[in-house]
Amino acid sequence: MIAYVVRRLLYAVPILIGVNIVTFALFFVVNTPDDMARMQLGIKRVSPAAIESWKHEHGYDKPLFYNRAAAGFGKISDTIFYRKSLRMFVFDFGASDDSRDIGYEIRKRAGPSFAIALPTFMVGLLIYITCALGFALFRATYLDFWGVALCVVAMSISAMFYIIGGQYLIGKLWNLVPISGYAGTAAGALRFLLLPIAIGIIGGFGASARLYRTFFLEEIGKDYVRTARAKGLGEGAVLFRHVLNNAMIPILTTVVVAIPSLFLGSLLTESFFGIPGLGSYTIDAINMQDFSIVRAMVFIGSLLYIAGLVLTDISYTLVDPRVRFS
Amino acid sequence: MSDFQVMPWIDRVMALWHQLVFLWTDRLVYFLIAVIVLTVCYVRRREHLHAPWRRVAQSASGMVGLALLLAFVAVGLLDSLHFKQPRSVEVLSVLDVVLRPLRAHAEKTYSAPLAIRSYAMETVILPGGGEQRVFPRLIYGGAQLADVERDYTGDITRRIVLGAAAGLLAWGGLVWMFAAVRGEARSEWRRIWRGETTVPWRAIALALLPMALFSGVMVALTGGYHVFGTDKVGQDVLYEALKSIRTALVIGTLTTLLMVPFAIVFGIAAGYFGGWIDDAIQYVYTTLNSIPAVLLIAASILMMQVFIDRHAEWFATEAERADVRLLVLCAILGVTTWTGLCRLLRGETLKLRELDYIQAAHAFGVNTLRILTRHILPNAMHIVLINVVLAFSDLVLAEAVLSYIGVGVDPSMNSFGTMINGARLEMAREPMVWWSLASAFVFMVTLVLAANLFADSVRDAFDPRVRIARPPSAAAFQSHE
């Protein structure tokens, strides 16, 4: 078991290195730091001196991989690749274009992001699975049919409409919760978080509930279910004791796939609701075209995804004994 | 006929030809259509390939979805033939010509749907001196009315009734003509309405009815009003929504067109060859997968924008620039979506590789390329097809989100994302400017819902797991005989 987890963790290292190389290529090879400087300073009529000083200010005036001018280890360390890319592995993200420490910002903003993503994820999962089980229990009835029809309609609506509609209906028309904003204290934050969380859950309902329903139906068609019924078990016992356990494996697999999209979802949610989390930070960075922040967020995002992969592998061992004993 | 008479005619055609502008996405759209037409011809002649499509044709929801989709595709195709007028840098499409009244009738600023007065107050100087704050009349909206207070309601009602009647007539005529083509019109009409046809024509006809009514009313009303209102710069919102359709369709289809070849080649290679090839391909797609899609897209688009700005001289017109950005967006979306299909194909190939008929082909000394193209690929194609149709609606939704964030299509290009982005800030106004958002919502939900319905029926028909779970229908037996 421990060897298995260690193996999965080690497997994550080359992937993280690969991500780093891809982002480095994207940010420094496709476009040179000169282009970046020119864009920050305005495309037209920029003097070469201004470009040089901008590059020097932001630490882009070094060679990409190998610095001949430096001495000793500086040949490697005094380069853009080392400074901007390798330093990320020790969570040193450097400064953003407006000279703030990105690492500090990320630590500060991780809290609010987490406060939205985690409840949305957990409560959502619980609701989706419950509904999907309900559809499976009442399969081939009107409840199932209209439930699935509702899911198809719900998944055809863009997440943005849920957010805008929810903000308008609950925030503006009914005045139940503030439309947007955030407060530092736990009790104060709750007021601001309720609506985004609820909308996040509703927005994901259609696709997830329908998908989990197919997982359940697939399991219900299998031999062990027929055996369980033949033993004389009731429908409830069959569903909850046998089908649910076995359907957890494909559900866990898709949940991990959903983690990056959860990130995308909270990107939108945070920006619409004005919550000072990582998502709104990223969107602001994109709008200001601050590449150092985008680069840091790509790294963090991949790190989260890979952590999710490892977590899935671990959770497999909990729900599937075959993995545990192999 | 002598050359003397023919030449001017040829000249005119040539002049017209030289006016045509083939944007990159246009060319790919034509290519895609050619691929689809060829595939249809190929499938029609082969019974075993035709059978699942017949199941799709028998699904009412699937065919309703397809009918709606085709209506969208028609608008998108009209918008995919571009030309440049002489002495102008503006690139127009056939759709722009069809919608000329909508495009040309721009107001000053916002106006509500069917409004005759502007949204914003203006100060006018009274004839006898002095000033007054009023809502000025629109330039085009309701301009045909002599007495606004008296004629407005009557005119709207008349147009709605006339438009609906025309729509109904056109729809009835169409269904009747269709029945006549199928056989004796009266009995075929009856068979359609009793639902006795194999293909659910009744459902399709019923789905076309609201569309016909809607289009009829739209056409009747757009003559005198802005049906969905106007936006901040006075542009007609209906026009924007119709122009957005092409963007959505291009993103949904070209992304797939660009990524499917890679997914097929890499997925099958990984599954079939195994070993270090498998490891390498798996490594590449896990790495790409672990970068959050939206960030990868954001980073790539930002980088591409710098690149495009630096080489501004490459693009003759603004339309070409926006078009290249759209194509780049498709390519990048392809990079983030091919991994899923690649993984599925790898898994399927792993399974297929061990089957007897592949082993037999090996034993007979069939070369590897032929095994892959002749035996593995056709048996994995259903996965590609299901994935492609399912991906369409996701891509349309993704475009809106990305354009909202600012890393989607060029801001000058009409798309549902830019419509939402422009509209959302106006929600805070009093009275609220809701119409841009509402029309984007209506058009987008219809498009995505239609795509979802069609995709579901395709999946049901092609996925062997679903087929086994369901008892074979009578029609399926007939097709086997």
pLDDT in tens, B348-375: 998 888 889 988 998 998 998 999 998 8
Q: What is the pLDDT of residue B266?
A: 94
- Selected residue of B68, B281, B283, B291 to mutate for chain A interface (largest A Cβ count, 10 A): B291
> Cis peptide leading into A14, omega within 30 of 0?
no
Which residues lie below 8 Å from residue A157, measured CB to CB, with a gap of 6+?
A206, B441, B445, B448
What is the pLDDT confidence band of residue A165, given thresholds at 50, 70 and 90? confident
Q: What is the pLDDT of residue A257?
A: 58
Contact A261, B262 (CB under 8 A): no
Q: What is the pLDDT of residue B481?
A: 29
- How far apart, in whole angstroms, are the C-alpha atoms of residue A59 and residue B70? 54
Residues 220-279 of A with CB under 8 A from B: 221, 260-261, 263-264, 267-268, 271-272
Instruction: Give the range with max mean pLDDT: A59-68, A104-113, A207-216, B299-308.
Output: A207-216
Helix axes B60-78, B47-58, angle to 10 degrees: 100
Nearest-Cα residue of chain A relative to residue B460: A214
Asked if the model's pLDDT at residue A292 lies above 90, the reply is no
pLDDT digits (tens, 9 = 90+) for A168-183: 888 777 777 777 777 7
**Low-confidence residues of chain B, pLDDT below 50?**
1-2, 467-481
Token reading at A72:
């000793």
Q: What is the pLDDT of residue B471?
A: 39
Q: Per the CB < 8 Å rule, is A156 touching B452? A: yes
A106 against A212, higher pLDDT? A212
pLDDT digits (tens, 9 = 90+) for A54-101: 777 776 666 666 666 666 666 666 677 766 666 777 677 777 777 778
Residues 92-131 of B with CB under 8 A from A: none
Q: Which of B293, B303, B445 sits opposite A26 (nearest CB)?
A: B303
Q: What is the pLDDT of residue A74?
A: 65
- How far apart, in whole angstroms, are the C-alpha atoms of residue A134 and residue A147? 9
pTM of the model: 0.87
Q: What is the pLDDT of residue A89?
A: 72
Q: Work out the average pLDDT over A121-131.
A: 91
What is the pLDDT confidence band of residue A324, given thresholds at 50, 70 and 90? low
Which residues lie below 8 Å from residue A179, measured CB to CB, with a gap of 6+?
A167, A171, A172, A273
Say whether residue B306 is in contact with chain A using an 8 A CB cutoff: yes
- Chain B hits for A304, CB-CB cut-off 8 Å, are 292
Q: How many CA atoms lie within 13 A of B326 on its CB side?
A: 30
- How far apart, in whole angstroms, are the C-alpha atoms of residue A268 and residue A160? 8
Q: Per the CB < 8 Å rule, is B456 touching A152? A: yes
A292 against B475, higher pLDDT? A292
Contact B255, B330 (CB under 8 A): yes
Q: What is the pLDDT of residue B1?
A: 45
Residues 46-85 of A with CB under 8 A from B: none
